[in-house]
Each structure stands twice: as C-alpha cells, then as structure tokens.
Amino acid sequence: MMKDYLPIILQAERDAAAGDVVVALRKLRKLSLMDFSGLMWELPHPDLPHLNALLPRMASEDVQRAWTGAAGPQMMQGTVDFVRIMQTQFERICRRPLQQARILDYGCGYGRLARPMYWFTDPHDYYGVDPWNRSIELCTEDGILGNIAQSEYFPATLPVGEARFDLIYAYSIFTHTSLKATNAALRVLRDYIHSTGLLVITVRPIDFWQIVGRIPEADRQAQVAIHQRDGFAYVPDSFPVINGEVIFGDTTLTPEWLERSHPYWRVEAYDRGIDPWQTVLMLTPR
Ligand SMILES: C[S@@+](CC[C@H](N)C(=O)[O-])C[C@H]1O[C@@H](n2cnc3c(N)ncnc32)[C@H](O)[C@@H]1O
C-alpha cells in the first residue's frame, strides 16, 4: 500500500468504530480496487481493530491454495485481474456501471471473489452459493458478508429466494464440472439472471489437454479428439461422487457447444486475463 493513501484506511477505521459496515465500505471505496483488495487480503490487521470487527478475515494460505491453487499477493492480483475484466465487460455489454449491481457468485468457494466485489456492491446485494458444505463453513467462519447458502450439485433452483441478478459469475467452475452438472448449472442460472444482466464464466480451451499432468498422453489425445468432435470434453477426478457420478474433474468446452446446447444463452464475447487456462466468456440471456 502506498503511504499516500493510508489516511483513507485510517479514516475508515475511525468510522468503523460506529459499527456500520456499509459506512466503512463507502469510505474504503476511495481506495483503488487493487488497494481495497490488498487490504482485504491483510485482514485481520493488528492496527485496525474496528475494521477487523466488521470485515471478513482472510482465508488461510492452505485454504487459498487448496481451493484456488495460489495464495497471498499473487492470488490477490490474479483475482483483481479477473474482476477488472468483469467490470469492463459488464459496463461495455450492459451499458451501465457495475456499482451497486446485485451479484451472484456461483461456486463461491471460500469467498475469494466476494472480497473485491464489496468495492462495487454493498453486502446485502452480494449472494454466494456453493454445493460443498466446507466452502460454506469457511465463508461463515471467516465472516463473509451478504447472503451465503449451500446449493446443490445438480440444481433445479438456487437458495436465493426471489433475487434476480445483474451479474452472475462462475470462476473455475465450468473448468471442472461433468456434463450433467454443467448442463444443470447453465439451465438454472438462466432462471436467475435479470433480462438485462450478464453471466460471466471461465472455461478451458482445447490446449489445456496438452498440459494436464495427471492424465496419460494417450488419454489426453482422446480428449482432444472428443473436444474437436463434441465441443465438450471431461475427465473425472476421484471425488465427489453424487448419484453414482464423479461430478468434478477437468473440463474443456467451446462457445459453440454452449450456444448449441443452451440456446437461451448468447455468447457476447470472450476475454483473457493473466491466467491462460481461464478463458472468460460473457453470456447474455436470449
Ligand atoms: C476451484 S474452486 C473455485 C472457487 C471460487 N469460484 C473461486 O474462484 O475462488 C471450485 C468450487 O466449485 C464448487 N463446485 C463444485 N461443483 C459445483 C457445482 N456443480 N456447481 C457449483 N459449484 C461447484 C466447489 O465446491 C468449489 O468451491
């Protein structure tokens, strides 16, 4: 953090003494998105007891690595990189600011992306769902703000009540889900998007099969052929098994497969950030 901008944090710390997280966040949004996120990654901080009391504490390095493959400043910068892509694409495609949008984080994990999203939206408009009870426990234990609930692996509805969303995102979900789980999720998310909203998902390209170490060479070539033929390829990992099916593994899919299989979504654009294995697709409801 540049020292020039520390006074913003100290002012927010004084304001946080009143116990109102919305007021504290309003002050902290004077920070750049990068500095705001950097602060979130450093909480709890010994000099900021009032902000510590209102804002989530950062997940441990072990949790960060287990859910998202990296930790610390490197993870924070990759996270901000993705958030900036979402902001740019949302504002370009939906022609309105992302500020104060109602947001659904589909497969929220330990709440990594929730933290920078508070730069845009107050907690009451942030919703995070994940089917794994351990993800939900971590969000709760660390004090993730907003609406957190456990969803299902093959959801027909989502635990968000009547809420409909301006922005739904799913980072590193469709890079892993089986065909059945992918289809169920893409279908159900259509029911929860606002008619002028945006769904942002990450997917893996065909080239991924060249680098996936856990699969023998012959099987990788088979997946390349399946991806070319069907537009969707999936190799299960060892867990979890739901209804007799391993629903999580490695997945590649094409925008053409998505529009063909789910014609109620239009692929508006793709984008690419610093992680070459997370192609970002922007979808609008037809
Ligand atoms: C690699 S982590 C990514 C977490 C979070 N999106 C992030 O980027 O920090 C994958 C998450 O997907 C969740 N998940 C697994 N199957 C899912 C499904 N069918 N629908 C939604 N989420 C799922 C897991 O529980 C896990 O939290």
3-state secondary structure the chain: CCHHHHHHHHHHHHHHCCCCHHHHHHHHCCCCHHHHHHHHHHCCCCCCHHHHHHCCCCCCHHHHHHHHCCCHHHHHHHHHHHHHHHHHHHHHHHCCCCCCCCEEEECCCCCCCHHHHCCCCCHHHEEEEECCHHHHHHHHHHCCCCEEEECCCCCCCCCCCCCCEEEEEECCCCCCECHHHHHHHHHHHHCCEEEEEEEEEEECCHHHHHCCCCCCHHHHHHHHHHHHHHCEEEEECCCCEECCEECEEEEEECHHHHHHHCCCEEEEEEECCCCCCCEEEEEEEC
Residue 249 maps to a domain:
yes
pLDDT at 245 exceeding the cut of 90: no
Q: Which atom of ligand 1 is nearest to the CA of 68?
A: 1
Are both 81 and 28 inside the same structural domain?
Answer: no
Are both 121 and 227 inside the same structural domain?
Answer: yes
Residue of the nearest CA to atom 12 in ligand 1? 107
Residue 64 maps to a domain:
no
Count: domains in the chain = 2
Cα distances (Å, whole numbers) of residue 81 to 4, 165, 173, 271:
23, 22, 18, 11
**For residues 160-167, average pLDDT:** 98
**Confidence label for 1 from pLDDT (cuts 50, 70 and 90):** low
Residue of the nearest CA to atom 2 in ligand 1? 67
Q: Which of 108, 152, 173, 199 to mutate to test the pocket of ligand 1 (most atoms within 8 A of CB)?
A: 173
Pocket lining: 181 vs ligand 1, CB cutoff 6 Å: yes
Q: Residue 83 belongs to a domain with what CATH number? A: 3.40.50.150
Please state, in angstroms and rounded to a whole number, the distance separating the CA atoms of residues 220 and 204: 14
Expressed in angstroms and rounded, the spacing between residue 9 Cα and the centre of ligand 1 is 32
Q: What was the pLDDT predicted at 238?
A: 79
Are both 101 and 48 inside the same structural domain?
Answer: no
Residue from 193, 185, 197, 196 nearest 251 by CA? 185
**Confidence label for 241 from pLDDT (cuts 50, 70 and 90):** confident
What is the span of the domain harbouring residue 243? 69-285
Are both 147 and 7 inside the same structural domain?
Answer: no
Question: 279 and 253 in contact (C-beta within 8 Å)?
Answer: no
Are both 99 and 16 inside the same structural domain?
Answer: no
Please state, in angstroms and rounded to a whole number, the distance separating the CA atoms of residues 3 and 23: 23
**For residues 52-67, average pLDDT:** 97
Residue 20 maps to a domain:
yes
Least confident range of 39-53, 198-212, 214-228, 237-251: 237-251
Are both 229 and 91 inside the same structural domain?
Answer: yes
Residue 257 maps to a domain:
yes
Least confident range of 11-15, 20-24, 120-124, 246-250: 246-250
Q: Which atom of ligand 1 is nearest to the CA of 153?
A: 19
Q: What was the pLDDT predicted at 77?
A: 96
Are both 242 and 184 inside the same structural domain?
Answer: yes
Are both 119 and 193 inside the same structural domain?
Answer: yes
Least confident range of 185-194, 195-204, 241-250: 241-250
Residue 175 maps to a domain:
yes
Are both 9 and 116 inside the same structural domain?
Answer: no
Pocket lining: 109 vs ligand 1, CB cutoff 6 Å: yes
∠ Cα 227 233 235 (to 5°): 140
In the chain, % of residues over pLDDT 90 = 93
Question: 40 and 55 in contact (C-beta within 8 Å)?
Answer: yes
Are both 162 and 277 inside the same structural domain?
Answer: yes
- Which among 54, 77, 95 is the end of a domain? 54
**For residues 154-162, average pLDDT:** 97
Are both 16 and 46 inside the same structural domain?
Answer: yes
Expressed in angstroms and rounded, the spacing between residue 164 Cα and the centre of ligand 1 is 20
Q: Which atom of ligand 1 is nearest to the CA of 132?
A: 25
